[in-house]
Amino acid sequence: MTKTFDYFKIIGKYFLKTFKIITIILGCTALAMCILAFTSAPYWTRYWLGTTQGKYYFKPDYIVMLGGSGMPSEDNLMRLYHTAAIAKKYPEAFVVILHPKDSTVSWKMKNELLIKMVDSTKISFDTIGTNTRAQALGLLEIIPSIVNSKTVIVTSPEHVLRSILVFRKAGFKNLGACPAMDSDMNTNLSFDGNKLGGRKYIPDVGENIDVRYNFWSYLKIEIICLREFTALGYYKLKGWI
């Protein structure tokens, strides 16, 4: 009985020690993320993911948009916006939308491109694949000749690096990318809390844009980038990049 009690006591101490270590690590990570959210590091990390491998100086034969969200959604609408812009700049290029099979979403995405005056005869869909690797391989099955064509990928900024590496690994030769970035709003969003009334003992943050907007936006970007670096690590281990 005493030996059993001692055994559970040792296990309890080990569990408590492990729990403390994990708590400290998570706390330090959260603190570091909060501190970084007051800097421009998250923005430039996402910018790097979107631009480090995507530059191109050719006239594309194909514009390949990678979808994966519902419709309408922020991600798909941003990607469609940039896809339409490139399609209008290069009207001879074929537009291929890669998206998991969903006829309703596909129809809405095509309709969005038609609203933006993209030639309907240039638009096609590939509903094979539910991740980047499967989409690249699926596209090769449907259009084998695309492997040697000049291709521009349109996707979210954080997804550009992984997409380029995956498509290259699949055999694509001439690749570029367009990160579907949103544009900044050049408007002064500050306000005078004293003029708006309310409780005087609550600090006025009307002039502090970092606290009101940037901090929260950069926290979100940090999570997006952490997810993307995790995905890059997984794809590397799998041999997909």
Split at pLDDT 50, 70, 90, the class of 220 is very high
Split at pLDDT 50, 70, 90, the class of 16 is confident
Burial per residue of 163-187, b for 16 or more beta-carbon CB atoms within 10 angstroms, e otherwise: bbbbbeebebebbbbbbbeeeeeee
H helical segments located in the chain? 2-36, 41-51, 74-89, 103-115, 132-142, 160-170, 193-196, 209, 215-238
pLDDT at 182 over 70: yes
**Nearest 10 degrees: Cα torsion 95, 231, 32, 186:** 0
The residue written with tokens 């409780």 in the block is: 199
pLDDT at 111 over 90: no
pLDDT digits (tens, 9 = 90+) for 46-82: 999 999 888 899 999 999 999 877 778 888 899 999 9
pLDDT at 114 over 80: yes
> Using CA atoms, how far apart are residues 38 and 25, in angstroms rounded to an integer?
21
pLDDT at 124 over 70: yes
What does the block give as tokens for 78?
A: 């941003």
> Using CA atoms, how far apart are residues 182 and 197, in angstroms rounded to an integer?
34
Express as a percent the part of the chain with pLDDT over 90.
42
The residue written with tokens 């940037």 in the block is: 214
Strand, coil or helix: what is 82? helix
Kindly give the interhelix angle for 215-238 and 160-170, rounded to the nearest 10 degrees: 20
The lowest-confidence range among 6-15, 121-130, 168-177 is: 6-15
The lowest-confidence range among 118-132, 133-147, 157-171, 187-201 is: 187-201
Angle (nearest 5°) at CA 51 between 241 and 135:
40
In terms of average pLDDT, the best of 2-16, 105-119, 188-202, 226-240 is: 226-240
Beta-carbon count within 10 A of 220 CB: 11
pLDDT value for 161: 96
**Average pLDDT of the residues of the chain:** 85
* pLDDT average, residue stretch 39-46: 91
* pLDDT average, residue stretch 184-213: 69
Enumerate the β-bridge partners of residue 66: 98
Q: Show me where the domains of the chain are located.
A: 52-179
Strand, coil or helix: what is 185? coil
- In DSSP notation, 89-139 reads HSTTSEEEEE--S-HHHHHHHHHHHHHTT--GGGEEEE---SSHHHHHHHH
pLDDT value for 178: 93
On whether the 52-179 domain is CATH 3.40.50.620, my answer is: yes
Split at pLDDT 50, 70, 90, the class of 44 is very high
pLDDT at 5 over 60: no
User: 137 and 143 in contact (C-beta within 8 Å)?
Assistant: no
